């Protein structure tokens, strides 16, 4: 039984070492060398110019004006009390109040 166990462990080790060295069959493993084989068709200045042009429109949304805030009609304690009551009644999730 010990001989069979030793031979099975040796076979597993041999298969593992063969699998570890099989990375270079088609070039590289998992495409890690992808960037070095790509030929660029545009110059870096063209790409930078396109990036600068796109940056001006990136993530532009409505900008809130802090001076144009709506005046609150309720106090903070009243709003908090309403939230607690609504949470106890099961109208809102309990994690949404703070």
d(CA 88, CA 94): 8
The rounded percent of the chain whose pLDDT value lies above 70 is 64
Q: Is residue 18 part of a domain?
A: yes
Q: Is residue 44 part of a domain?
A: yes
Our count of domains for the chain comes to: 1
Q: Is the pLDDT of residue 81 over 90?
A: yes
- pLDDT at position 31: 59
Q: What domain range is 45 assigned to?
A: 1-53
Could you read off the pLDDT of 23-73 as tens digits, one per residue?
555 555 565 666 666 677 889 899 999 988 888 777 776 667 777 777 888
Q: Is residue 39 part of a domain?
A: yes
Question: CA separation (Å) from 45 to 42, 48, 50, 60?
Answer: 8, 5, 9, 25
Q: Is residue 62 part of a domain?
A: no
């Amino acid at each position: 039984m010990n001989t069979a166990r030793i031979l099975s462990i040796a076979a597993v080790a041999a298969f593992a070492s063969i699998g570890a060295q099989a990375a270079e069959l088609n070039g590289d493993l998992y495409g890690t060398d992808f960037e070095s084989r790509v030929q660029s068709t545009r110059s870096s200045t063209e790409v930078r110019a396109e990036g600068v042009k796109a940056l001006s429109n990136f993530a532009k949304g409505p900008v809130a004006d802090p001076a144009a805030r709506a005046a609150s009609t309720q106090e903070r304690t009243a709003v908090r009390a309403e939230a607690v009551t609504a949470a106890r009644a099961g109208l809102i999730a309990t994690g949404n109040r703070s």
